Structure 1
Amino acid sequence: MSEFQDVRVVVTGAGRGLGRGIAETFARAGARVMLGARTLAPAEEAVAAIRAAGGVARAVECDVTRHADCTALIAATVEAYGGVDVLIHCAADIPHGGLGSVSDEKLETGLASIAKAAWWLLDAARPHMARAPGGGRFIAIGSVNGTVSVVPGMTAYGMAKAALLAFVRGAAIDVVGDGITVNAIQPGLIATDNARRVLGEEGLAAYGATVPAGRAGTPADIAHACLFFASPAAGYVTGASLVMDGGASLAPGSGGRGDILRDRLRAQVEG
């Protein structure tokens, strides 16, 4: 039997892309998954696919920029599955632009969807995760942008992701006494459906050529890291962040024209 059999998992931003990939991976591992998504139709399609493959999943409409929606998502999971063991915050409303080119509304939406939502979600789930067999797990999907690297024209997004990482470090201490771990994953460019739509396979291949690992990341790469942080094997890991960018942030000056391409591509679809 899988170590995730019947584990109760919440994933935000789960209707598409990286969030959907994470949800599907946990469902295949035997978990009972609640998909939170701002647009319900794609999440319901993901639920149907999970169920068709023999998994257990439900979906709830959730705009994580709203405190009430975050609280309602946790309440719906408790009602459906009896509790929450693992919470993965993947949703992000990405504010594109640098200083002077982002409206107050977009700046607030970015901060709320990325950093404030993490606070609201963990706060709501904390009493339930404290009762999770083997301990609760909170995993935030951050970014290398704003933390280990800088992408021109993405200052607002990088700031929000940096705030998320600060939350992970502080909250890890806040809830360690409840048996809950809090960790982050910091991806580079991930080859999601949206990335393929924007860049095409040729564009993704061109980006991959600038990465030391030789390719863009995949949702499966990030999902497998989530499985580790959610597993008993990671019970002694908290307040940590795992950079997953194929080594791109280790060699930012090695690509010449490739660096320019990489920055342009990441500015469009990173996260």
Structure 2
Amino acid sequence: MKRLSGKAALVTGAGQGVGQGIAYALAAEGARVAVTGRTLAKLETTVAEIGRRGGTALAVECDVKDAASLQRAVARTVEAFGGLQILVNNAQEVPLGTLEQVDEAAFAAGWESGPLATFRLMKLAYPHLKKNGGSIVNLGSPAAKRWDMSGYGAYGAVKEAIRQLSRAAACEWGKDGIRTNVLMPLADSPAMAWWTRERPAEAAAFVATVPMQRVGACEADIGRFVATLCSDDCAYINGQSIAADGGQAFLG
């Protein structure tokens, strides 16, 4: 029997990159997956691939910066699958640049799509997760643990806010059978491709500091770990921040 059989999951930003890889891996372990994002065509591609592999998925258009859209996404997931046991908050707009370069609109978008959306979705999912126990995985970033935060202050700020919300949820909801953890991935996502293209020297220098000397694959390295984290194999793992980055970040 697959490790996530009978469970329903909602993954934000699942039309591409890390979110898509996570959706594929959850479905491969038997979960029924609601894939959400702003671009329906991308979501339908994810759903079609999951179906081709024999899994079950639902495409749900959703703007994580809109509270009503989040509410509809959770309602559609529960209506379609009869419940919700796994929530993955992956979608994030990235406010990248020095403090002088990042304007208030970009920082607000990072806040609204990151910690505020995470806060809202966790609260919307809570009553459903509480029914039979469940798992929340929120996406942080190793970029928030750089020794030199020049150019990453705004991005690091919103990602670290997510970590604090996650720790609070782990402590407050653990008694309800809900586990909350943070994953900090380094993956070959569209964001990584953009960074490599726009800042090739910086990206190459960073990858050279990864002990395993490679960037992780969205499904094989990141998605499969999330599937494991959401399974009973990790039933006692709660409130942790875990870097899936080939050993680059030091969280001590």
* Aligned length in residues: 245
Q: Report the AA paired with residue 199 of structure 1.
A: T
Asked if structure 2 preserves the Cα contact closer than 8 Å seen for 1:147 and 1:161, the reply is no
2:196 aligned residue (194, 199, 205): 199
Asked if structure 1 preserves the Cα contact closer than 8 Å seen for 2:115 and 2:161, the reply is yes
Q: Report the AA paired with residue 120 of structure 2.
A: W
Partner of 2:12: 12
Asked if structure 2 preserves the Cα contact closer than 8 Å seen for 1:10 and 1:87, the reply is yes
* 1:29 partnered with 2:29: yes
Partner of 2:165: 167
Q: Report the AA paired with residue 68 of structure 2.
A: A
Asked if structure 2 preserves the Cα contact closer than 8 Å seen for 1:207 and 1:215, the reply is no
Partner of 1:176: 174
Partner of 1:262: none
Q: Report the AA paired with residue 211 of structure 2.
A: P
Q: How far does the alpha carbon of each residue in 1:54-97 deviate from its partner, in whole angstroms, 9 at most, with x for none?
A: 11001111111112111111111001001100001110011112
- 141-150 or 7-16: bigger deviation: 141-150
CA distance in 1, matches of 2:191, 2:102: 22
CA distance in 1, matches of 2:62, 2:139: 17
Q: How far does the alpha carbon of each residue in 1:231-263 deviate from its partner, in whole angstroms, 9 at most, with x for none?
A: 11222221111012222234xxxxxxxxxxxxx
Partner of 1:210: 209
Q: Using the aligned pairs only, state the percent identity.
A: 37
Cα distance, 1:148 vs. partner? Answer: 5.3
State TM-score, norm by structure 2: 0.91
Cα distance, 1:206 vs. partner? Answer: 7.0
Cα distance, 1:199 vs. partner? Answer: 3.2
Find the residue that maps to 1:152 and give its secondary structure. Answer: coil
CA distance in 1, matches of 2:248, 2:143: 11
Cα 1:148–1:40 change in 2 (3 A) is: same
> What CA RMSD, in Å, does the superposition of the two structures yield over aligned residues?
1.9
Partner of 1:235: 235
Structure 1 residues not aligned, in runs of 5+: 251-271
CA distance in 1, matches of 2:148, 2:35: 31
Structure number with higher relative contact order (C-alpha < 8 Å, ≥ 6 residues apart) = 2
Find the residue that maps to 1:239 and give its secondary structure. Answer: coil
Cα 1:195–1:40 change in 2 (3 A) is: same
Q: How far does the alpha carbon of each residue in 1:212-245 deviate from its partner, in whole angstroms, 9 at most, with x for none?
A: 1111122121112211220112222211110122
Cα 1:60–1:21 change in 2 (3 A) is: same
